[in-house]
């Protein structure tokens, strides 16, 4: 029974992480008006959602097996409540979330500028709130990601400040020396001349070097993984 209980818990946590997390990241990218990145993210989400759905169904099966092998009363009030919640989640997903995100996907397939505006507009409608998208939650998620260590080997936060004469302006943190050379350079942290808002924060889940090069105009910001 303990094995099935563990599998039930871990699969349900995995399902919620993938299904809810995908909506959070899609909303975050959409609010940044980066329609190209949104399309790529949406293609990834369509695959991760299938994995999340599989985990959700597996979690239900493991939950039933746990109840049967543990001798639980299947008519207990807390179990009946869980049945109702599962059915409600399935209905919400089929009736509200899936059709709505399908409409957003269709809007994102248009011309880049028009598609970006249409997607951002749809993100702020009451219908989107009903499907689980909450701008306040997205803002809190953005702040959480911003608090991550931007020098971690695989997770980087970067912001896109307003361009000046075609260049993005950056500056070093006051009182800090130049970054060390070589492999230790990725550990050097700098501050930006422009403080990013939740709308212009971009999360890069790669191990590649991230830099904005214009040393002559205001320095270089480097948030890079070790080679």
Domain boundary among 94, 116, 137: 137
Claim to verify: residue 194 and residue 102 sit in the same structural domain: no
Lowest mean pLDDT among 93-97, 135-139, 210-214: 210-214
Claim to verify: residue 164 and residue 54 sit in the same structural domain: no
Burial of residue 156 (number of CB atoms within 10 Å: 0-12, 13-18, 19+):
buried
Q: How many domains does the chain have?
A: 2
| Residue 24 domain-assigned (yes or no) | yes
- Please give the sequence-ordered ranges of beta strands (E in DSSP) within 38-104, or none if there are none: none
User: Per-residue pLDDT for 19 more than 80?
Assistant: yes
Plot region of 220 (φ>0 → left; ψ -120 to 50 → alpha; else → beta)? beta
Coil vs helix vs strand at 166? coil
| Residue 142 domain-assigned (yes or no) | no
Claim to verify: residue 133 and residue 181 sit in the same structural domain: no
User: Per-residue pLDDT for 132 more than 60?
Assistant: no
Coil vs helix vs strand at 210? strand
> Do residues 220 and 212 touch, judged by C-beta distance below 8 A?
yes
pTM, full prediction: 0.54
- Greatest mean pLDDT among 28-32, 42-46, 174-178: 42-46
| Residue 187 domain-assigned (yes or no) | yes
Write the CB contacts of 12 (distance below 8 Å, at least 6 apart in sequence).
55, 56, 59, 63
pLDDT (tens digit per residue) in 162-215: 444 444 444 444 444 444 455 444 444 444 444 444 444 444 333 334 344 343
Write the CB contacts of 184 (distance below 8 Å, at least 6 apart in sequence).
none
Q: Once rounded to an integer, what is the mean pLDDT over residues 109-127?
A: 78
Lowest mean pLDDT among 49-58, 96-105, 106-115, 137-146: 137-146
| Residue 61 domain-assigned (yes or no) | yes
Higher pLDDT: 226 or 85? It is 85
Claim to verify: residue 122 and residue 152 sit in the same structural domain: no
* Domain, as residue range, for 133: 2-137
pLDDT tier at 98, thresholds 50, 70, 90: confident
pLDDT tier at 128, thresholds 50, 70, 90: low
- Please give the sequence-ordered ranges of beta strands (E in DSSP) within 1-70, or none if there are none: none
**Lookup: tokens for 23:** 């909506």
């Amino acid at each position: 029974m303990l094995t099935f209980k563990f599998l039930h818990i871990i699969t349900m946590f995995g399902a919620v992480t993938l299904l809810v997390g995908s909506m959070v990241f899609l909303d975050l990218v959409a609010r940044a008006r980066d329609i190209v990145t949104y399309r790529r993210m949406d293609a990834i989400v369509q695959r991760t959602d299938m994995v999340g759905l599989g985990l959700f169904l597996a979690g239900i099966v493991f939950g039933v097996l746990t109840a049967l092998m543990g001798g639980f009363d299947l008519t207990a009030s807390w179990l009946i409540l869980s049945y109702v919640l599962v059915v409600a989640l399935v209905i919400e997903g089929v009736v509200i979330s899936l059709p709505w995100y399908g409409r957003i996907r269709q809007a994102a397939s248009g011309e880049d500028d028009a598609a970006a505006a249409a997607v951002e507009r749809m993100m702020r409608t009451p219908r989107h709130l009903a499907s689980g998208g909450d701008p306040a939650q997205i803002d809190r998620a953005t702040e959480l990601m911003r608090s991550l260590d931007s020098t971690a080997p695989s997770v980087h936060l970067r912001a896109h400040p307003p361009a000046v004469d075609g260049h993005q302006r950056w500056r070093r943190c006051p009182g800090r020396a130049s970054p060390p050379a070589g492999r230790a350079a990725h550990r050097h942290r700098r501050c930006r001349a422009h403080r990013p808002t939740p709308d212009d924060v971009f999360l890069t889940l790669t191990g590649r070097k991230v830099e904005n090069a214009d040393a002559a105009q205001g320095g270089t910001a480097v948030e890079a993984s070790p080679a």
